[in-house]
């Protein structure tokens, strides 16, 4: 059976590359190649820049309310095609249909809708300076590059293009080479909604195409989502032409469960924050610190619910709530971390092995895995694993657990479970993380800015402030009287 070959999406249509080079994309749940994608060669790269320049000229000249109206049409189409798009995400990522059907498209559409609404509300300032005055304009940056990770491909493409396009920029987006189709679907939807050709372009490929984007002097900004190590390379390369950067990177986030917490709720949060999207979520609370007074109760309930309530299998089956990891290589990496945990003396409470469910026997599944009695210096407690692997640690002192929670170079997210309202805020205010939850975990509405402290990131996505990251301020001084000149 022949599989489809997708070309790069440039200037409003598919464009064939000249080298003929392609890469294959597999369904992680079946290990089968589902389609091929052409790599953006030099011809495509040049065409993408020319296309984005032309797109920018048209788009930035439109009024914000015109842009807003068009983006809202795209939002309506995204919602109408929810199921078709959710299926694309399931086949590309291996995540369960029951998640993609209500989260991936929805949260992407929400963000475009949010920024479409804000676009006409952006205002400059004006101030008198004696008889003279100045005013400011919020102008778009020009061509912005987006580089995406593979865990939420369509959502990431929406989260980056929403504010960029609302502010009047053109975008060249490179999805992860593991999951390239969602961004193409979004590009088609933008065209259908009336976004002018050239405003949103999709280039395909791996690191070398990303490197070209980060080094290209025609690009004013790079918004990157991916690993910390890659983020450092992207930022170093972007520095060559002093590009603005937004970095959404990895995490090793703590969840603190105090002895007055609703333990069942805390278990729910811990399971969501480790097993949702089979653990492939950047904000996951992979270090769970539980107060010694409720430690046993916590791990007993966690073990029971993990062993009874998780259904792995064909991700398109609506009953399945644990999907396949993105690739064989990633599955092996996650399993190697589990081995390391065992070698370093952590107690395996449940899970620990690869899974081969009857409905998806060739998929890259890993059992939901919980380590207990973990120590702070274990590799599984220190490094991001990006799979369904939870580490549980015990504590008995508030100040001590805050210090332990902060003892990492990462700072993406954190959570606290307690019924003591003052403790909740006191503790959260001391945790070094950009995205925090109290008696909750994982929700990320369009209105809320998200991003990392320390090496987990730079800048923010979502929320009002993000629009400022896609504009530059022009100050205009207006003289109202004769110039006094000594010359
Ligand atoms: P990755 O860093 O391997 O790849 C991310 C993207 O960068 C891909 O598109 C890849 O092709 C590209 N790339 C690779 N090398 C490059 C280079 N030298 N220059 C430019 N681009 C390059 O990350 P991944 O494995 O796709 O995603 C998983 C990681 O993403 C995890 O660390 C996770 O925590 C992080 N993540 C963070 C967030 C967030 O919002 N903070 C969200 C999702 C994922």
State pLDDT tens for residues 225-238.
999 999 999 999 99
Average pLDDT (183-198) is 98
% of the chain exceeding 90 in pLDDT: 99
Phi, psi of 174 (to 5 degrees): -115, 110
Report pLDDT digits (tens) over 311-333. Answer: 999 999 999 999 999 999 999 99
pLDDT at 399 over 80: yes
The dihedral of CA 208, 210, 211, 217: what is its sign?
A: positive
Q: What's the half-sphere exposure (Cβ side, CA atoms, 13 Å) at 304?
A: 8
Determine which one of 26, 138, 160, 185 is catalytic: 160
In whole angstroms, how far apart are CA 383 and each of 175, 340, 366, 441? Answer: 25, 11, 18, 20
pLDDT tens sequence across 254-268: 999 999 999 999 999
Which pLDDT score, from 0 to 100, does residue 63 have?
98
What's the CA-to-centroid distance between 145 and ligand 1, angstroms? Answer: 14
Buried b / exposed e over 426-446, threshold 16 CB at 10 Å, is ebbeebbbbbbbbbebbebeb
- The answer to whether 285 is a known catalytic residue is no
- Residue 340 exposed, middle or buried by CB count within 10 Å (0-12, 13-18, 19+): middle
Task: Answer yes or no: are the C-beta atoms of 190 and 172 closer than 8 Å.
Answer: no
Query: What CA–CA distance (Å, rounded) separates 367 from 198?
Result: 44
Confirm or reject: Cβ of 249 under 6 Å from ligand 1. Answer: yes
Which residue's CA is the nearest one to ligand 1's atom 8?
176
- Among protein residues, the one whose CA lies closest to atom 34 of ligand 1: 250
**99, 248, 367, 384: which one is catalytic?**
248
pLDDT digits (tens, 9 = 90+) for 23-47: 999 999 999 999 999 999 999 999 9
Digit-coded pLDDT (tens) for 102-136: 999 999 999 999 999 999 999 999 999 999 999 99
Residue 250 CB–ligand 1 contact under 6 Å:
yes
What mean pLDDT is predicted for residues 148-168?
Answer: 98
Q: Which atom of ligand 1 is nearest to the CA of 230?
A: 2
The residue whose C-alpha atom lies closest to atom 1 belonging to ligand 1 is 226
For residue 386 and ligand 1, the question of a CB distance below 6 A is answered with yes
Q: If pLDDT is split at 50, 70 and 90, which confidence band does 2 have?
A: confident
Q: What percent of the chain has pLDDT over 70?
A: 100
And the tokens for 134? 């100045």
The pLDDT of residue 364: 98
Of all protein residues, the one whose alpha carbon is nearest to atom 12 of ligand 1 is: 207
Using the structure block, give the residue that is written with the tokens 């954190």.
414
26 part of the active site: no
d(CA 86, CA 274): 21
* Span from the CA of 10 to the centroid of ligand 1 (angstroms): 23
User: Per residue in 417-445, pLDDT tens?
Assistant: 999 999 999 999 999 999 999 999 999 99
Tell whether ligand 1 has an atom less than 6 A from the beta carbon of residue 453: no
Separation of CA 230 and ligand 1 centre (Å): 6
pLDDT (0 to 100) of residue 1: 64
pTM of the entire predicted model: 0.98
Pairing of strands 126-129, 170-174: unpaired
- 295-309 vs 263-275: helix crossing angle, rounded to 10: 50
Helices 64-80, 82-93: axis angle to 10 degrees equals 70
Annotation marks residue 252 as catalytic:
no
Closest atom of ligand 1 relative to the 206 alpha carbon = 11
**For residue 219, what are the contacts with CB-CB under 8 A and spacing of at least 6?**
49, 142, 143, 144, 145, 172, 213, 241, 243
Q: What is the mean pLDDT of residues 337-354?
A: 98
Q: What is the mean pLDDT of residues 72-92?
A: 98
Rounded to the nearest angstrom, the distance between the alpha carbon of 481 and the centre of ligand 1 is 55
Asked if residue 161 has its Cβ within 6 Å of ligand 1, the reply is no
Q: How far is the CA of 308 from the centre of ligand 1 (A)?
A: 33
What would the mean pLDDT of 194-206 be, rounded to a whole number? Answer: 99
Tell how far the Cα of 387 is from the centroid of ligand 1, in angstroms: 15
What pLDDT shows up at residue 50?
Answer: 98
- Average pLDDT over the chain, rounded to an integer: 98
Residue 248 appears among annotated catalytic residues:
yes
List the structure tokens of 232: 């450092």
């Amino acid at each position: 059976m022949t599989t489809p070959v997708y070309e790069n999406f440039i200037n409003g249509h598919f464009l064939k590359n000249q080298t003929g080079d392609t890469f294959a994309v597999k369904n992680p749940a079946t290990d089968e190649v589902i389609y091929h994608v052409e790599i953006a060669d030099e011809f495509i790269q040049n065409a993408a820049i020319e296309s984005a320049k032309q797109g920018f000229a048209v788009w930035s000249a439109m009024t914000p309310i015109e842009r807003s109206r068009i983006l809202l049409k795209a939002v309506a189409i995204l919602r109408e095609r929810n199921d078709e798009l959710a299926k694309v995400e399931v086949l590309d990522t291996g995540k369960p249909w029951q998640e993609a059907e209500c989260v991936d498209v929805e949260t992407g559409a929400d963000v475009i809708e949010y920024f479409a609404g804000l676009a006409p509300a952006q205002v400059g300032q004006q101030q008198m300076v004696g008889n003279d005055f100045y005013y400011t304009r919020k102008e778009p940056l020009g061509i912005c590059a987006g580089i995406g990770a593979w865990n939420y491909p369509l959502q990431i493409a929406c989260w980056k293009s929403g504010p960029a396009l609302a502010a009047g920029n053109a975008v060249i987006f490179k999805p992860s080479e593991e999951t390239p189709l969602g961004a193409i679907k979004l590009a088609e939807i933008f065209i259908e909604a009336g976004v002018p050709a050239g405003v949103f372009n999709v280039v395909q490929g791996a690191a070398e195409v990303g490197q070209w984007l980060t080094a290209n002097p025609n690009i004013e900004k790079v918004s990157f989502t991916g690993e910390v190590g890659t983020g450092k390379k992207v930022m170093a390369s972007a520095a060559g032409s002093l590009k603005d950067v937004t970095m959404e990177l990895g995490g090793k986030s703590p969840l603190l469960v105090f002895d007055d917490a609703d333990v069942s709720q805390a278990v729910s949060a811990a399971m969501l924050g480790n097993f949702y999207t089979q653990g492939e979520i950047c904000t996951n609370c992979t270090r769970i610190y539980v107060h010694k007074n409720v430690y046993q109760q916590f791990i007993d309930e966690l073990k029971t619910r993990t062993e009874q309530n998780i259904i792995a299998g064909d991700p398109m089956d609506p009953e399945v709530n644990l999907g396949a990891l993105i690739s064989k290589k990633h599955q092996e990496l996650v399993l190697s971390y589990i081995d390391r945990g065992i070698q370093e003396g952590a107690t395996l409470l449940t899970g620990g092995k690869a899974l081969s469910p009857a409905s998806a026997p060739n998929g890259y599944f890993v059992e939901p895995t919980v380590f207990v009695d973990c120590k702070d210096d274990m590799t599984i407690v220190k490094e991001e694993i990006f799979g369904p692997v939870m580490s549980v640690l015990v504590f008995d002192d508030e100040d001590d657990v805050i210090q332990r929670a902060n003892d990492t170079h990462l700072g993406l997210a954190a959570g606290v479970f307690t019924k003591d309202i003052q403790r909740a805020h006191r503790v959260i205010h001391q945790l070094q993380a950009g995205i925090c939850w109290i008696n909750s975990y994982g929700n990320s509405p369009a209105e809320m800015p998200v991003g990392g402290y320390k090496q987990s990131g730079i800048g923010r996505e979502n929320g009002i402030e993000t629009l400022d990251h896609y504009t530059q301020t022009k100050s205009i001084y207006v003289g109202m009287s004769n110039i006094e000149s000594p010359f």
